[in-house]
């Protein structure tokens, strides 16, 4: 059972604690400290009065009908180790030690502090605690000071005082809980994890604690522990959707996509208009190789009016892989319209795939949209890629002059673009300008990234002129730089041709 204060601090960014409520919670806590010893005595007396005749009758059991339970020796060994014996001995004591006690003089001092707090003299109350407390005083003093700092949103001070409280009294569950909440509020879930674990160890494992543990474990890249924590949170609080979402995300990290699909399906059935659930399930479908089912989810999100640039781009990628090029371009265009400041990298990459698959018309339409939306903001890398694609499409159309113009523009933009130099060399080779082509190939070969490909193209040009002996060193060098099976086969063919001609 939480005090009123503990309930309020579960959402620390949004709370505004009144002094009267705050001091009332503290009074309740102090009363619990005083009352706990009396409750232990009452419980003992009640147990002594209990008679065997009060117990309900149990049906008789025939021992002959009960199968014996055989416990392996390795499991029995746990009952004889020192740690078990120590904990069993501790079990004779009632669990009343999760709150620090106050000595009689300290109770009087704290009552004076409470009077100041009830009068909303919080500054004077804090000063009084600072004056009264010592390294040997009860952790209640430090906890109270921490709560006042929490109330004033002085997170650093609160963190310091809660830490001092648990150092003095390591079983102070309320202090561990609030310590964890501050770490979570500060975004430091890794530091929150030990405090949350301590709360559970001390019997305070409620749904919120387990849910926060799940979040912390997930952030710490421990999806199996996150799954266990989220399951406990769901067991205690099945109505909160966040715990189920966390569980689904832990499935993702474990690549258990079928489980993620099933769980998100249950959540979608409960709230079919929740776009985030449709997107989460779509990602699970992608992970499990069911791309068209993912596409259906993305389309539903669109009908809900909740499409994002990322979801539209993902939908475009699915349609490209299914060779539905025209619809894919529509998706990329919608994504660009939603985020014109997002950059041209994604649609340019998609255009490359379209060109590679021979969908020149769709690639031209997509590149036209890219230039229209992004214009002068297109980066140099994407601009070069666009020019190269236009050059390749010009070749496909037989528009050689356009190809040459575009390639010259690329080389002017970046003289060290080896790919453009090779393409320009190929263009001049087709035109019959062998010297110009060789010059361009040699330039490209001086660039490390394009050296192997440039030497292969140079060798092919020489082979076309039956200059085998000149081509062979280029091919061998290319193979040393970048070994490829098809080039090795080509090299062997050129070697045979060279021997046959004796050249």
What tens-digit pLDDT sequence spans the chain (503 residues)? 333 333 323 333 333 333 333 334 444 444 444 333 333 333 334 444 444 444 344 455 454 554 555 555 655 555 566 765 665 454 444 445 788 888 888 888 888 888 888 878 888 888 888 888 888 888 888 888 888 888 888 889 989 989 999 999 999 999 999 899 889 888 888 889 999 999 999 888 889 999 999 999 998 889 999 999 999 999 999 999 999 999 999 999 999 999 999 999 999 999 999 999 999 999 999 999 999 999 999 999 999 999 999 999 999 999 999 999 999 999 999 999 998 887 899 999 999 999 888 898 999 999 999 999 998 888 888 988 888 888 778 766 665 677 778 888 888 878 888 888 998 888 888 888 999 999 999 999 999 999 999 999 999 999 999 999 999 999 999 999 999 999 999 999 999 988 887 65
Name the H helices within 288-399.
291-303, 309-321, 325-338, 345-356, 360-374, 380-397
Q: Is 163 exposed, middle or buried (0-12, 13-18, 19+ CB in 10 A)?
A: middle
> What's the rounded Cα separation, in Å, for the pair 379 and 382?
5
Does residue 441 contact residue 457 with C-beta atoms inside 8 Å? yes
Domains of the chain, by residue range, sit at: 1-39+99-204
> What's the rounded Cα separation, in Å, for the pair 341 and 156?
38
Does residue 8 contact residue 26 with C-beta atoms inside 8 Å? no
Does residue 142 contact residue 165 with C-beta atoms inside 8 Å? yes
Q: Is 226 exposed, middle or buried (0-12, 13-18, 19+ CB in 10 A)?
A: buried
- Scanning the structure block, which residue is given the tokens 């019997």? 203
User: Measured in whole angstroms, how far is the alpha carbon of residue 164 from the centre of its chain?
Assistant: 33
Residue 102 has which token pair? 């106050």
Could you tell me which CATH class the domain 1-39+99-204 is placed in? mainly alpha
> What's the rounded Cα separation, in Å, for the pair 464 and 471?
10
Of 341, 284, 343, 294, the C-alpha closest to 316 is 294
> What's the rounded Cα separation, in Å, for the pair 119 and 108?
17
The pLDDT score that the predictor gives to residue 103 is: 82
- Scanning the structure block, which residue is given the tokens 């005749």? 53
Does residue 407 contact residue 377 with C-beta atoms inside 8 Å? no
Q: Is 53 helix (H, G, I), strand (E, B) or coil?
A: helix
The pLDDT score that the predictor gives to residue 74 is: 55
Of 442, 497, 487, the C-alpha closest to 467 is 497
> What's the rounded Cα separation, in Å, for the pair 315 and 298?
6
CA distances from 326 to 311, 333, 337, 380, 461 (A): 17, 11, 17, 27, 38
CA neighbours within 13 Å on the CB side: how many for 350?
Answer: 35
Residue 393 has which token pair? 């499409």
The pLDDT score that the predictor gives to residue 44 is: 39
Of 99, 109, 125, 113, the C-alpha closest to 34 is 99
Q: Is 262 exposed, middle or buried (0-12, 13-18, 19+ CB in 10 A)?
A: middle
Residue 205 has which token pair? 């494992």
Contacts of 161 (CB under 8 A, 6+ apart): 142, 143, 145, 146, 149
> What's the rounded Cα separation, in Å, for the pair 296 and 498?
59
Does residue 6 contact residue 174 with C-beta atoms inside 8 Å? yes
Q: Is 105 helix (H, G, I), strand (E, B) or coil?
A: helix
Residue 303 has which token pair? 């009908």
Residue 87 has which token pair? 């904990």
| Residue-by-residue DSSP string for 484-502 | -HHHHHHHHHHHHHHHHHT
> What's the rounded Cα separation, in Å, for the pair 253 and 245?
13
Does residue 441 contact residue 454 with C-beta atoms inside 8 Å? yes
Contacts of 389 (CB under 8 A, 6+ apart): 351, 352, 355, 363, 367
């Amino acid at each position: 059972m939480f005090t009123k204060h503990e309930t309020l601090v579960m959402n620390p960014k949004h709370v505004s604690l009144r002094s009267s409520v705050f001091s009332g919670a503290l009074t309740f806590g102090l009363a619990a400290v005083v009352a706990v010893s009396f409750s232990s005595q009452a419980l003992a007396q009640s147990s002594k009065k209990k008679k065997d005749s009060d117990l309900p009758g149990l049906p008789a059991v025939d021992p002959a009908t009960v199968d014996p339970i055989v416990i392996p020796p390795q499991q029995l060994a746990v009952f004889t180790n020192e740690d078990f014996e120590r904990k069993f001995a501790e079990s004779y004591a009632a669990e009343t030690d999760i709150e620090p006690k106050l000595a009689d003089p300290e109770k009087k001092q704290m009552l004076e502090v409470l009077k100041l707090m009830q009068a909303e003299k919080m500054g004077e109350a804090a000063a009084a605690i600072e004056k009264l407390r010592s390294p040997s005083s009860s952790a209640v003093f430090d906890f109270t000071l921490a709560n006042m700092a929490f109330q004033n949103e002085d997170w650093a001070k609160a963190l310091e005082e809660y830490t001092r409280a648990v150092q003095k009294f390591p079983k102070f569950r309320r202090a561990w809980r609030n310590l964890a909440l501050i770490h979570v509020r500060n975004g430091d879930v890794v530091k929150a994890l030990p405090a949350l674990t301590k709360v559970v160890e001390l019997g305070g494992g409620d749904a919120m604690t387990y849910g926060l543990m799940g979040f912390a474990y997930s952030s710490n890249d421990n999806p199996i522990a996150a799954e266990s924590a989220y399951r406990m949170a769901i067991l205690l609080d099945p109505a909160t959707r966040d715990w189920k979402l966390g569980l689904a995300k832990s499935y993702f990290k474990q690549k258990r996509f079928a489980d993620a699909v099933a769980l998100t399906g249950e959540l979608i059935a409960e709230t079919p208009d929740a776009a985030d659930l449709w997107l989460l399930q779509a990602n699970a479908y992608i992970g499990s190789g069911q791309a068209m089912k993912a596409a259906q989810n993305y389309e539903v999100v669109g009908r809900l009016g909740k499409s994002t640039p990322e979801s539209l781009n993902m939908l475009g990628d699915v349609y490209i892989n299914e060779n539905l090029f025209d619809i894919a371009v529509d998706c990329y265009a919608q994504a660009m319209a939603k985020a014109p400041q997002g950059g041209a990298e994604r649609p340019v990459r998609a255009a490359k795939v379209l060109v590679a698959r021979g969908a020149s018309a769709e690639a031209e339409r997509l590149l036209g949209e890219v230039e229209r939306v992004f214009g002068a903001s297109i980066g140099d890398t994407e601009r070069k890629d666009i020019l190269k694609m236009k050059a390749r499409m010009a070749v496909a159309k037989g528009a050689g002059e356009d190809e040459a113009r575009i390639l010259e523009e690329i080389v002017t933009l970046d003289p060290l673009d080896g790919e453009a130099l090779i393409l320009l060399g190929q263009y001049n080779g087709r035109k019959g300008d062998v010297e110009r082509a060789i010059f361009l190939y040699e330039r490209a070969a001086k660039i490390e990234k394009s050296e192997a490909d440039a030497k292969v193209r140079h060798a092919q040009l020489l082979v076309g002129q039956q200059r085998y002996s000149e081509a062979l060193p280029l091919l061998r060098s290319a193979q040393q730089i970048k070994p490829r099976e098809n080039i090795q086969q080509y090299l062997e063919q050129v070697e045979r041709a060279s021997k046959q001609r004796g050249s």
